[in-house]
Each structure stands twice: as structure tokens, then as C-alpha cells.
């Protein structure tokens, strides 16, 4: 389990200053996050965990929209969580946040004795080199019948080539890239009987939303 002491140094370096402008600057290009908030449809009593929650922007909107569900989140960057904790307090909602890695988080981190009903990754897998370990680990901390949700950059195939090129260059500086292998991995999880997969593109392939409902 990761503690504040051994937080991800690269993520802390990246977000130490940018966390102050993160929400305002990402509003226009992390598309599909609001669609996920609508589609997650968290039921009363369910526990929803965001992996790589950043500033907790998504969790705060969800906590307001689904007040009878419970929301928790974690991030590799203790720096990001400084902003997240301040935003949670300002919003007047209760969202426990922890420093942890997506490859080894657990319900116990939040004092929970049961597994999660839902886990989601919002623009987080595209920044992780070891995204597959994160996905596979998330499946181990979900209840049977729980759902793993992802929103992230898509293949941009319906958009002009120059746009894809410019976006790729921009994202590169944040160590972010479109990972077609994520969808392929979910396809194989669904094919091997792990659950039922729903997938759709947003804004002509700019982003995608995916949900694997486990058995």
C-alpha cells in the first residue's frame, strides 16, 4: 500500500504547480467525463471509487448528483490531493481521499470491509505505463456484479489528421497517449467471460466510454 511518504515522484513533479490550473484548463479537452457522471447512475448505498482521481472534480460532481451513494478516491500524487481535499471541503461533501497506486489499492485503505460496487478510471489509464496491472487489479477489488468504468482519449478517427497530430504532441508533454490496447484488453476480458462490455465513442472518436459489468 502506498503512503504519502512514497507517493509517485513523477506525478508529484508534474502536478505540483499545474494542479492550481488543472480544472480550468482540462475542462475543454477531457471530454466524456460529464457523460460518465450521468451514466454511472450510482445507486443508494453503493460505494464508488475513482482511481487516479486528480483534483476530485468527478467525485465531487458525482457526490452531489448521487447523494445516497458513497464516493472515495485515490491518486498517486499527494500534491494533486492537496487541491482535491481543498475542493472537497469547499463543496461540503464527504469524500475520503488517499495516496495510493492503481496497481495496489484496496477497500481497506478507506476502512471498508466490503469490495467496491464500482471503480472508474477517468483519463488515468492513458497516463499509466502499467495500465494493464491497474485494470486487472481493479477487477480484484470489485464485488461480483460490480462495474469497472473507463473514460479516456479515443482513436480520433472521425477527426482531421492534423488535429490528431497536434493533440498527440500536446499530450506527449504530459506522458499521455491514446492506448488502443486498453479496449483490446477489455474485449478479451469480456470474451473470456469476466463480464459484459459496453463501449461507445464520444465526439467522433475524441474519447471513449467503456463499462465492464462483472459476473
Ligand X SMILES: C[S@@+](CC[C@H](N)C(=O)[O-])C[C@H]1O[C@@H](n2cnc3c(N)ncnc32)[C@H](O)[C@@H]1O
The piece of 71-79, 89-97, 187-195, 207-215 that touches ligand X (CB under 6 A) is 71-79
Q: How many residues bind ligand X (CB under 6 A)?
A: 22
Nearest approach, Cβ of residue 60 and ligand X (Å): 11
Indicate whether 54 belongs to the interface with ligand X (CB under 6 A): yes
Choose, by CB under 6 A, the member of 53, 97, 209, 212 that binds ligand X: 53
Q: How does DSSP classify residue 42?
A: P
How many angstroms separate the Cα of 189 from the Cα of each of 50, 132, 185? Answer: 21, 11, 6
Closest CA to 138 of 122, 155, 115, 160: 115
Q: Is 140 exposed, middle or buried (0-12, 13-18, 19+ CB in 10 A)?
A: exposed
Q: Return d(Cα 150, Cα 83) in angstroms, integer.
A: 23
Cβ atoms within 10 Å, residue 18? 14
Say which DSSP state 57 is in: H
Site for ligand X contains 154 (CB under 6 A): no
Residue 188 sits at φ, ψ, to 5 deg, of -75, -30
Cβ-in-10-Å burial (0-12, 13-18, 19+) of 170 comes to exposed
Strand locations in the chain (E) = 47-51, 70-75, 97-99, 116-122, 142-153, 195-202, 207-214
C-beta closer to ligand X: residue 122 or 147: 122
Q: Which of 32, 77, 87, 153 binds ligand X (CB under 6 A)?
A: 77
Distance in Å, CB of 127 to ligand X, minimum: 5
Contact range with ligand X by CB under 6 A, out of 76-84, 85-93, 185-193, 203-211: 76-84
Nearest residue to the partner ligand X, using Cβ: 54
Identified binder of ligand X from the candidate list 40, 48, 63, 76, rule CB under 6 A: 76
Interaction with ligand X in 79-108: which residues (CB under 6 A)?
A: 80, 101-102
**What binding mask, one character per residue, do residues 5-44 give for ligand X by CB under 6 A, x or -?**
------x---x----------x---x--x-----------
Question: Residue 123 Cβ, how far from ligand X at the closest point, in Å?
Answer: 4
What are the residues binding ligand X (CB under 6 A)?
A: 11, 15, 26, 30, 33, 51-54, 57-58, 75-77, 80, 101-102, 122-124, 127-128
Amino acid at each position: 500500500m502506498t503512503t504519502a511518504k512514497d507517493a509517485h515522484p513523477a506525478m508529484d513533479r508534474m502536478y505540483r504547480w499545474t494542479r492550481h490550473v488543472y480544472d480550468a484548463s482540462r475542462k475543454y479537452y477531457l471530454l466524456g467525463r460529464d457523460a460518465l457522471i450521468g451514466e454511472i447512475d450510482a445507486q443508494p448505498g453503493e460505494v464508488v471509487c475513482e482511481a487516479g482521481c486528480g483534483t476530485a472534480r468527478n467525485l465531487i460532481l458525482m457526490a452531489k448528483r448521487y447523494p445516497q451513494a458513497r464516493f472515495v478516491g485515490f491518486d498517486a500524487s499527494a500534491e494533486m490531493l492537496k487541491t482535491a481535499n481543498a475542493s472537497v471541503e469547499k463543496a461540503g461533501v464527504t469524500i475520503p481521499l488517499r495516496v495510493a497506486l492503481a496497481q495496489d489499492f484496496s477497500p481497506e485503505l478507506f476502512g471498508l470491509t466490503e469490495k467496491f460496487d464500482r471503480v472508474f478510471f477517468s483519463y488515468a489509464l492513458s497516463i499509466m505505463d502499467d495500465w494493464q496491472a491497474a485494470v486487472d487489479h481493479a477487477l480484484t477489488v470489485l464485488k461480483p456484479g460490480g462495474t469497472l468504468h473507463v473514460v479516456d482519449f479515443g482513436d480520433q478517427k472521425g477527426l482531421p489528421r492534423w488535429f490528431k497530430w497536434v493533440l498527440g504532441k500536446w499530450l506527449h508533454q504530459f506522458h499521455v497517449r491514446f492506448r488502443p490496447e486498453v479496449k483490446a484488453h477489455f474485449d478479451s476480458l469480456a470474451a473470456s467471460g469476466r463480464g459484459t462490455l459496453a463501449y461507445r465513442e464520444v465526439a467522433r472518436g475524441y474519447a471513449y466510454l467503456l463499462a465492464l459489468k462483472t459476473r
